Structure 1
Amino acid sequence: MMARVHIIGAGLAGLSAAVELADSAELLLHEAAPQAGGRCRSYFDSTLNMTIDNGNHLLLSGNDSALAYARKIGGAEKLAGPDEAAFDFCDLEQRQRWRLRPNAGQLPWWILAPDRRVPQTAGLDYVALARLLFAGPKQTLRPFLGSGDLARKLWDPIFVSALNTDPSEASARLAGAIVRETFARGGEACRPLVAVEGLSAAFVDPALAYIRARGGEIRFGAKLREIAFAEGQAAALDFGEAMIELGAEDKVILAVPPQVAISLAPGLKAPLESRAIVNAHFAFPAPKNLPLLTGVIGAASEWLFGFSDRLSVTISAAERFLSTPREDLARSIWDEVQAVAGIEAPLPAWQIIKEKRATFAATPEQDALRPGTETQWRNLFLAGDWTQTGLPATIEGAIRSGVRAAKACAK
């Protein structure tokens, strides 16, 4: 008889755990919301009259766990990007454009080629980044990056988006983990990948189909209110209208936000300080010559995504914009979008999404609070990008945490 596993939460952490266990366990996936995906999903927006993502997300080809998950569920074909590592940038203040092109091999000869690196920088300027690989748990990022032209034009945009935390307070060790898994592995691990048909098409809908095809049960609108504990393990799950008693061999994976997790698991410590992300979507098709992804320097906008039906902007560590009226924000961002895309057009239909608690704050102090997969209860396991994955709060971290929780269940 297969073991029964209850997975609480159908974000990417919960979905990846379920996919990992689908062939070896009797699965019940409980999600409080009416849909799966959590902070990484698509929805139809009536203002724009199109399907958009609740937040723009970027993968890199070095995100091994995320790509293995996408391939397993059949979503990898929904990811698009250049054949080689290439990142386009536009500096609106200095009126410059360039393309960063790390070479494919691990030996980084690209830093010696002026046409592959940031203009007006030298190869030796990039060597300092290797120090991040040896950063300690209490060190912050800014001293490693400096405050010169290279930091402004390259390192700040990359690490602010990866960590969603300002470099002055961000964890250098988490930044080092990003370097170790991408730049240090060469350009083959740095190719940008985007879910051009939406996050749900690549990561959510195929996972639900995969789980159901293997007999897994998915329950939406099922909010877990309390976990009863007895004799060192989770003994019952209280969903309000239904109480599920757990057998001796039953397992539970708690794949919920940290605020919810600590309310359900007494004594659990977790990072509760958060950082915001603002996304802007404009119903205007990308010009044919616009790259799929452009880093924007010297502006509020940080990354511009050029989709076939819309232009979308992401701003990380965006607390400064939370109180800005949405229409004012849309107009100012649209001005920047026009300058980057080389267009002149009145403000089209738009949507601004302010995610106040988009990720945990990737500071050394908050990183130290992240729990591991196992808990004090022998049948209760944790998953989520806020658990101790060794990475900041990313798609890769969320999926990796789910796989780890599934493997812990199977022991």
Structure 2
Amino acid sequence: MNDTDPRPTDPDPDSERPASAVVIGGGLAGVTAALALADAGVGVTLLEGRPRLGGLAFSFQRGDLTVDNGQHVYLRCCSAYRWFLDRIDATALAPLQDRLTVPVVDAATRVRTRSGEGPKLGTLRRAALPVPLHLAQSLATYPHLSPGERLGAARAALALRTLDPDDPALDEQDFGSWLARHGQSARAVEALWDLVGVATLNAVAADVSLALAAKVFKTGLLQDPGAADIGWAAVPLGELHDTLARKALDTAGVRTELRTRASGISRTPDGRWAVKVQGATIEADTVVLAVPQRETHELLPTGSLDAPERLLALGTSPILNLHVVYDRTVLRRPFFAALGSPVQWVFDRTEASGLADGQYLALSQSAVHHEIDEPVAALRERYLPELERLLPATRRAQVRDFFVTRERTATFAPAPGSGALRPTAHTRAPGLFLAGAWTATGWPATMEGAVRSGVSAADAALGVLGRSRAHLFREAA
């Protein structure tokens, strides 16, 4: 038949079938990948073993309280997570500070206050000035460091600004040793570097890859004046990451299957993928695995990665969350950070939880390997007196409730060498891709990293499927 022959040719059956994908895992990475694929016209099935979406950023009911499993915050520099919030129509529900302001109290230094003796208060705040002057005034008056320590911190920050987080050599070094070489005292590490680093990296400086530390501090504090402005959900996390995310998925045409766990992945004779679930098999052109690294290791078909044992070598780090309900208001700020105490960060979750009377505080405790399995009674005995040291008003208040949530494998461990263990979105198996905050995003295990990983996996899958990727999140130039 020549080019001008008007007779139709026999249709290719595969060309009539729309592209399809299965995304395994309904955390932020999986939801992001599913939305990105569906927005490109791919038929997506999202599988989640739990009865809800959101992964480790979720909510649950405790009596009349709606409780987040842990306090999650993001920064203005978290552009991918902000893109995700916009995509699910949730931006207004997770507002950012107008300008970075972090109250920091030192329980070890006592001063006179209106309500009696209390901890010394300092504040880290940015000014409306270019980098690095935006933090210069705040650092110069920061009362928790001596004048010499403040000057030394400024010098270290300028040195940190010259590092390249993508340099593999930095991944082999630890941040604590680098700080020591740059004249940082133990007090400076506690009151400044770990104050930020433990909350974002879930490890103390001595246990952190210098590459990841450089990424956090350069991106958050040393590139754009407003980068570190803090945002957090004004509603329960479940309203964002489950309710609104599921609405967005439904609107995009994603078939979401909750309480459905994948038990196996294999290739079909025609080169597609078959995902086994309870009593059924789902076939698709491409699969995105968006589950934790150990579960990924169990599901990966043989030969999918060059060194799959690296997934198991990538360690994990816990986060402990303590929840305290008082019969009255004891904290007038939305949050604060603490020094000289086992308490790290304290947030007021009263309004978001729906509490009608009293005040509900959430304590976020990162990198607490030594406490993650302690009994609730022991944690109560340790932390309630600490709150009395930090918040004098608690001495006159009654504790109505005290409970604990634990995430034993909350994040990957950002140890030296961890960068070399994190795989990219691509595997050796055509059409099979990986997502999760533990993959090679260049970011620590944060909501931002999770969303970026989902975008990367969708980008790779759409490339194989020959679909447009113009709608995907891209870093601004």
The TM-score bracket by the shorter chain reads: over 0.9
8 Å Cα contact 2:128/2:134 also seen in 1 = no
Change (3 A) 1:178 1:291: same
2:131 corresponds in structure 1 to 107
Q: Number of aligned residue pairs: give it.
A: 406
Change (3 A) 1:285 1:351: same
8 Å Cα contact 2:26/2:290 also seen in 1 = yes
Give 1:130 deviation, angstroms: 3.6
CA distance in 2, matches of 1:256, 1:204: 16
| Partner-residue secondary structure (3-state), 1:151 | helix
Give 1:164 deviation, angstroms: 0.8
| Partner-residue secondary structure (3-state), 2:222 | helix
8 Å Cα contact 2:267/2:273 also seen in 1 = yes
Q: Larger deviation: 177-186 or 85-94?
A: 177-186
2:19 corresponds in structure 1 to 3
> Is 1:314 the equivalent of 2:342?
no
2:58 corresponds in structure 1 to 41
1:78 to 93, 100, 119: 93
CA distance in 1, matches of 2:402, 2:258: 30
> Is 1:19 the equivalent of 2:35?
yes
Give 1:185 deviation, angstroms: 2.5
Deviations 1:207-259 (A, max 9, x none): 1101101211100111111111367966311113101233xxx1111001111
Q: How does 1:220-299 map to 2 (within 5 A)?
A: 220-229=258-267, 235-246=273-284, 250-265=285-300, 266=302, 267=305, 268=308, 269-270=310-311, 271-284=313-326, 287=329, 290-299=332-341
2:432 corresponds in structure 1 to 380
Change (3 A) 1:285 1:13: farther
8 Å Cα contact 1:286/1:307 also seen in 2 = no
CA distance in 2, matches of 1:325, 1:12: 30
Give 1:115 deviation, angstroms: 7.2
2:471 corresponds in structure 1 to none
Deviations 1:317-347 (A, max 9, x none): 1111124221220232222223333312233
> Is 1:338 the equivalent of 2:372?
no
The residue type paired with residue 288 of structure 2 is I
CA distance in 1, matches of 2:333, 2:23: 39
8 Å Cα contact 1:373/1:404 also seen in 2 = yes
CA RMSD of aligned residues (A): 2.1
CA distance in 1, matches of 2:387, 2:408: 23
TM superposition score normalised by structure 1: 0.93
- Detail structure 1 runs of 4+ shifted over 6 Å in the superposition: none
The residue type paired with residue 263 of structure 1 is E
The residue type paired with residue 361 of structure 1 is A
1:407 corresponds in structure 2 to 459
Q: Which has the larger radius of gyration?
A: 2
TM superposition score normalised by structure 2: 0.80
CA distance in 1, matches of 2:199, 2:270: 40
Structure 2 gaps, min length 5 = 1-16, 110-118, 464-477
Change (3 A) 1:318 1:379: same
The residue type paired with residue 355 of structure 1 is E
8 Å Cα contact 2:99/2:226 also seen in 1 = yes
1:194 to 232, 238, 248: 232
Give 1:97 deviation, angstroms: 0.7
Structure 1 gaps, min length 5 = none
2:75 corresponds in structure 1 to 60
CA distance in 1, matches of 2:222, 2:70: 28
CA distance in 2, matches of 1:114, 1:22: 46
Give 1:264 deviation, angstroms: 0.9
2:173 corresponds in structure 1 to 139
The residue type paired with residue 129 of structure 1 is A
Q: Larger deviation: 399-408 or 269-278?
A: 269-278
Q: Identity of aligned pairs, percent?
A: 27
1:393 corresponds in structure 2 to 445
Q: How does 1:130-169 map to 2 (within 5 A)?
A: 130-132=158-160, 133-134=163-164, 136-145=170-179, 146-169=184-207
CA distance in 2, matches of 1:81, 1:93: 31
Q: Larger deviation: 134-143 or 206-215?
A: 134-143
